[in-house]
């Protein structure tokens, strides 16, 4: 084939000139111009696909940015739709009286879903108990601890981002260390980290990918990714996020926790770029529902440099998740308003602040009600909790000697 003999543009032009000199076919020049354009696209870029061997470190992982031609009309059309929906979500967040309190509730579901992608599962019941202090973290099972650390990493990263005034390696490292409860940093050069098929998959234990490895290699590739993310150019942050998410997972900078870290830094980057005021776009549920496509399109970039399906996948994930999150916020806000309107008429001590607190997490301890109402009397608190149960605002549950209260309306919305 013609392109097997082409190594650079000069070689190609010389080859074409000799053919034109000896051939006098009318349509030949038109065909050659098409081929010429195609080869220019390939040769102008350093992203010619390197030979990929899943058993060898992928040190030839192409650097960013990508060739501009990859971002075509279809991607730009999807970006436009996604940007509009994301802007609607941000406006919705800003109408919430106390965004942090409500987003804390949504972050719990993201933490549960994100850890589930890594086959770390916990029940809503145990998770809600742990968050409400009905179950001490040290007494929680390992899976619940992992979920709680993810949520902590999300909020800690958000605060760290604001304090450091920029998206940096420190941000990424901070998130990872919170998720894994470790002081470990980037995996060392000698670490033989590989990605294998799970035990429930065909050919379990088979190596499917070997990430970059070597002295300074990982740091160099992370620096390139961060430069791409922070550089001001014509690429929109949403598209940058999609590209960088693949790059981060391909670099696989840590020995474990890369997937969860990557999903948190997606959110933090959108906050850093002012596309979101709070980290509330939780993609993990969408990824779980389309898990096969997630891994297939990731692998397609590695094996064939097929960027378009991956970018479209992630933009679709953002669009779908933004729509779903808007609906969830609307439902929670509507239920909060309805609860407050009814209960305030019947309980004079029921305040707006207490109403918000009851929707900050599904399981409630009397201690929280006491802190907001200013009541320290056990008798008074018992009376308050009984009144809320009688009105159907809360229901009482017991676990051994422990008593806790459940906001069933909030649970219904979160689990729908």
Whole-number pLDDT of residue 114: 57
Output the CA torsion sign for 381, 387, 390, 394: negative
* Same domain, yes or no: 101 and 199: yes
Residue that is last in its domain, among 296, 328, 360: 328
Residue that is last in its domain, among 301, 328, 355: 328
Structure tokens at 402: 């422990």
Asked if residue 336 is part of any domain, the answer here is no
Region 203-230: what's the mean pLDDT?
95
The pLDDT confidence band at residue 3, using thresholds 50, 70 and 90, is: very low
**Concatenated DSSP letters of 325-336:** HHHHHHHHHHHH
> In whole angstroms, how far apart are CA 392 and each of 54, 168, 385, 388, 397?
57, 47, 11, 6, 13
**Cα–Cα distance, 97 to 89 (Å, whole number):** 15
**Cα–Cα distance, 257 to 164 (Å, whole number):** 23
**Cα–Cα distance, 163 to 150 (Å, whole number):** 20
CB 326 within 8 A of CB 92: yes
For the cut 50, the answer to whether the pLDDT of residue 51 exceeds it is: yes
Per the prediction, the chain carries an average pLDDT of 82
**Cα–Cα distance, 44 to 126 (Å, whole number):** 55
* Same domain, yes or no: 37 and 125: no
Which has more confidence, 309 or 399? 309
Residue that is last in its domain, among 276, 301, 328: 328
* Same domain, yes or no: 227 and 285: yes
Q: Which of 21, 74, 5, 67 is nearest to 313 (CA)?
A: 74
Whole-number pLDDT of residue 18: 52
Asked if residue 320 is part of any domain, the answer here is yes
Asked if residue 135 is part of any domain, the answer here is yes
* Same domain, yes or no: 150 and 298: yes
Q: Which of 58, 56, 49 is nearest to 253 (CA)?
A: 58
* Same domain, yes or no: 161 and 306: yes
**Cα–Cα distance, 354 to 349 (Å, whole number):** 9
Q: Where are the alpha helices (DSSP H) in 186-290?
A: 217-230, 237-251, 258-272, 284-289
406 strand-pairing partners: 363, 395
Output the CA torsion sign for 364, 365, 369, 372: negative
* Same domain, yes or no: 289 and 320: yes
* Same domain, yes or no: 313 and 353: no
Region 215-239: what's the mean pLDDT?
95
Range of the domain at 291: 68-328
- Residues written for the chain: 416
The pLDDT confidence band at residue 154, using thresholds 50, 70 and 90, is: confident
For the cut 90, the answer to whether the pLDDT of residue 197 exceeds it is: no
Which has more confidence, 20 or 369? 369
For the cut 80, the answer to whether the pLDDT of residue 30 exceeds it is: no
For the cut 60, the answer to whether the pLDDT of residue 137 exceeds it is: no
Region 349-355: what's the mean pLDDT?
95
Asked if residue 387 is part of any domain, the answer here is yes
Asked if residue 94 is part of any domain, the answer here is yes
Which has more confidence, 36 or 176? 176
The maximal CA–CA distance of the chain, rounded, in angstroms, is 103
Whole-number pLDDT of residue 254: 97
Per-residue pLDDT of 372-400, as tens digits, reads: 999 889 999 999 999 999 999 999 987 77
* Same domain, yes or no: 309 and 395: no
Burial class from Cβ neighbours inside 10 Å (0-12, 13-18, 19+) for residue 165 reads exposed
Asked if residue 9 is part of any domain, the answer here is yes
Whole-number pLDDT of residue 276: 93
For the cut 80, the answer to whether the pLDDT of residue 118 exceeds it is: no
Per-residue pLDDT of 59-90, as tens digits, reads: 999 999 999 899 999 999 999 999 999 999 99
Judged by average pLDDT, the poorest of 36-45, 60-69, 142-151 is 36-45
CB 148 within 8 A of CB 137: yes
Asked if residue 100 is part of any domain, the answer here is yes
Burial 81-111 (b: 16+ CB within 10 A, else e): ebbebbeebbebbeebeebeebbbbbbbbbb
* Same domain, yes or no: 103 and 7: no
For the cut 70, the answer to whether the pLDDT of residue 208 exceeds it is: yes
* Same domain, yes or no: 298 and 370: no
CATH of the domain at 151: 1.10.3290.10
For the cut 70, the answer to whether the pLDDT of residue 223 exceeds it is: yes
CB 376 within 8 A of CB 387: no
Whole-number pLDDT of residue 38: 47
Burial class from Cβ neighbours inside 10 Å (0-12, 13-18, 19+) for residue 76 reads exposed
The count of C-alpha atoms lying within 13 angstroms of the C-alpha of 409, restricted to the half-sphere facing its C-beta, is 19
φ/ψ region of 280 (left if φ > 0, alpha if ψ in -120 to 50, else beta) reads alpha
* Same domain, yes or no: 34 and 74: no
pTM of the model: 0.80
The pLDDT confidence band at residue 99, using thresholds 50, 70 and 90, is: confident
For the cut 70, the answer to whether the pLDDT of residue 33 exceeds it is: no
Asked if residue 227 is part of any domain, the answer here is yes
Judged by average pLDDT, the poorest of 87-101, 122-136, 282-296, 299-313 is 122-136
Q: Count up the domains in the chain and report the number.
A: 3
Element (H, E) at 207: strand 207-209
For the cut 60, the answer to whether the pLDDT of residue 309 exceeds it is: yes
Whole-number pLDDT of residue 10: 47
* Same domain, yes or no: 226 and 100: yes
3-state secondary structure 377-389: CHHHHHHHHHHHH
CATH of the domain at 392: 1.10.10
What are the φ/ψ torsions at residue 278 (nearest 5 degrees)?
A: -135, 155
The counts of H helices and E strands in the chain are 17, 5
Say how many C-beta atoms besides its own lie within 10 A of residue 181's C-beta.
Answer: 13
């Amino acid at each position: 084939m013609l392109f097997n003999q082409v190594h650079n543009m000069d070689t190609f032009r010389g080859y074409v000139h000799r053919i034109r000199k000896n051939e006098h076919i009318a349509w030949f020049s038109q065909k050659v111009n098409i081929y010429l354009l195609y080869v220019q696209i390939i040769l102008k870029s350093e992203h010619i696909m390197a030979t990929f061997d899943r058993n060898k470190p992928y040190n030839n992982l192409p650097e960013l940015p990508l060739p501009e031609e990859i971002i075509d009309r279809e991607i730009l059309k999807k970006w436009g739709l996604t940007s509009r929906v994301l802007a609607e979500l941000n406006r919705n967040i800003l109408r919430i009286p106390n965004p942090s309190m409500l987003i804390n509730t949504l972050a719990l579901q993201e933490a549960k879903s994100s850890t589930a992608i890594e086959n770390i599962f916990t029940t809503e019941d145990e998770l809600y108990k742990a968050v409400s202090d009905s179950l001490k973290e040290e007494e929680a099972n390992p899976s619940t601890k992992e979920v709680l650390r993810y949520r902590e990493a999300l909020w800690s990263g958000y605060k760290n981002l604001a304090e450091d005034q920029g998206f940096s390696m420190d941000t990424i490292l901070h998130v990872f260390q919170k998720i894994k409860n470790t002081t470990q940093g980037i995996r060392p050069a000698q670490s033989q980290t590989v990605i294998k098929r799970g035990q429930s998959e065909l050919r379990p234990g088979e190596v499917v990918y070997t990430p970059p490895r070597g002295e300074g290699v990982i740091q160099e590739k992370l620096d390139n990714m961060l430069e791409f993310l922070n550089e001001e150019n014509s690429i929109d942050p949403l598209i940058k996020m999609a590209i960088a998410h693949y790059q981060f997972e391909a670099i696989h900078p840590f020995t474990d926790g890369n997937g969860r870290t990557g999903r948190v830094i997606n959110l933090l980057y959108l906050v850093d770029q002012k596309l979101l005021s709070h980290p509330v776009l939780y993609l993990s549920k969408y990824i779980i529902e389309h898990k096969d496509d997630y891994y297939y399109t990731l692998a397609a970039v590695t094996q064939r440099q097929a960027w378009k399906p991956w970018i479209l996948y992630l933009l679709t994930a953002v669009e779908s998740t933004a729509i779903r999150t808007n609906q969830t916020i609307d439902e929670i806000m509507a239920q909060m308003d309805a609860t407050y309107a009814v209960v305030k008429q019947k309980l004079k001590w029921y305040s707006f602040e207490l109403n918000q607190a009851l929707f900050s997490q599904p399981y409630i301890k009397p201690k929280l009600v006491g802190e907001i109402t200013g009541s320290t009397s056990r008798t008074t608190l018992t009376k308050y909790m009984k009144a809320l149960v009688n009105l159907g605002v809360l229901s009482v549950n017991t676990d051994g000697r422990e008593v806790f209260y459940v906001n069933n309306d909030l649970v219904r919305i979160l689990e729908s």
